[in-house]
Amino acid sequence: MTSDNNATPLIEVRNLKEYFPINTGWFRTTPLKAVDDVSFDIMKGETLGLVGESGCGKTTVGRTILFLYEPTSGEVIYDGKPIKTKEDIKQYRTKSTMVFQDPYSSLNPRMTVSDIIGEPLDVHKMYANAAEREERILELMDHVGLNSEHASRYAHEFSGGQRQRIGIARSLAINPEFIVCDEPVSALDVSIQAQVINMFDELQDKLGLTYLFIAHDLLVVRHISDRIAVMYLGKMVELADADEIYEHPLHPYTKSLISAVPIPDPKIARSNQRIPLVGDIPSPLNAPSGCPFRTRCQYATDACAESMPTFEEISSGHFVACHRVNEIND
């Protein structure tokens, strides 16, 4: 959600829920609430960073808004048009795509680089003849810094960073407007991470792309994101501009995450007050009542157990879900 009236949302997500039925014994299933009533907008040309602990539902959000999972309920609106029918989804998939986390498992080992990158072109019939297909593949390889002689090689012959470049080239094949980047650098060496992040920035400027950038590394997210959303146990707990989240976090969970970010200056690092979390993240099969963070929150009261706080705008563009947000940030 945003309060910027001048920006135009490309993606609008409204009350999205993704529940997976889990067999819990003797003909009984329990819903695992991977994503539970999440709403947000992504503006045209911006990068929205999505952060949180492992298992909080970040990847499920990305896959559900691309309809790789069928939403349990809620609505996804693309460029002002709700996506409801199979035909809507088919059209939407010519404008949106995904870069997967693991470049080792997301590329078919039996296909050459040329065929991997060209597969979306084949599926959507986006060329008139073989020469046009090959020209487009070489153009995509050039976009991501791969040489034309790499086209006939197989994915296992490349390093992790090069494999991720192949995956990014594949995602660009259909000329998308919107890309979900699912932890695209977490499997890479730190030195390669910087190169790939900079490439995402350059591609965004060059091709006018809009990103949902999912990650758990807060330094990476701050570098690339215009706004940052924080998730905990399937719920959105805070959303604001990247600098605002870092300088003025309001939710206790966000404060704890920010306090754990490494600081390169040893003098500042020594004076930095860590806010450790107690306990483990609860199971989404048996989530706490009310606010999902209350079992680990030092500010929790009885009211936090009774109802889920509303995700509301505290200041311009800064949304928080916390019953005591005003008290604890005086």
Q: pLDDT of 210-221, one tens digit each?
A: 999 999 888 889
How many percent of the chain have pLDDT more than 90? 65
pTM of the predicted model as reported, rounded to 2 decimal places: 0.91
Q: H/E/C letters for each residue in the chain? A: CCCCCCCCEEEEEEEEEEEEEEECCCCCEEEEEEEEEEEEEEECCCEEEEECCCCCCHHHHHHHHCCCCCCCEEEEEECCEECCCHHHHHHHCCCEEEECCCCCCCCCCCCEHHHHHHHHHHHCCCCCCHHHHHHHHHHHHHHCCCCHHHHHCEHHHCCHHHHHHHHHHHHHCCCCCEEEEECCCCCCCHHHHHHHHHHHHHHHHHHCCEEEEECCCHHHHHHHCCEEEEEECCEEEEEEEHHHHHHCCCCHHHHHHHHCCCCCCHHHHHHCCCCCCCCCCCCHHHCCCCCCCHHHCCCCCHHHHHCCCCCEEEECCEEECCCCHHHHCC
Question: Which has the closest alpha carbon to 257: 304, 288, 217?
Answer: 217
Q: Which of 21, 24, 40 is nearest to 32 (CA)?
A: 21
* Per-residue pLDDT reduced to its tens digit, 51-84: 998 888 999 999 999 999 999 999 999 999 999 9
Report pLDDT for 269. 65
Q: What is the pLDDT of residue 102?
A: 82
What is the average pLDDT score of the chain?
90
CA distance 250 to 329: 7
Hey, what are 209's tokens? 């792309």
**Per-residue pLDDT band at 135 (split at 50, 70, 90):** very high
Q: pLDDT-based confidence at 4, cuts 50/70/90?
A: very low
The CATH classification of domain 9-95+176-328, taken from the options 3.40.50.11270, 3.40.50.300, 2.30.110.10, 1.25.40.10: 3.40.50.300
Mean pLDDT in residue range 323-327: 90
* Residue 128: Cβ within 10 Å count: 8
Domain with CATH 3.40.50.300 in the chain: 9-95+176-328
Q: What is the pLDDT of residues 188-200, one digit of tens each?
A: 888 888 889 999 9
The residue with greater pLDDT, 265 or 111, is 111
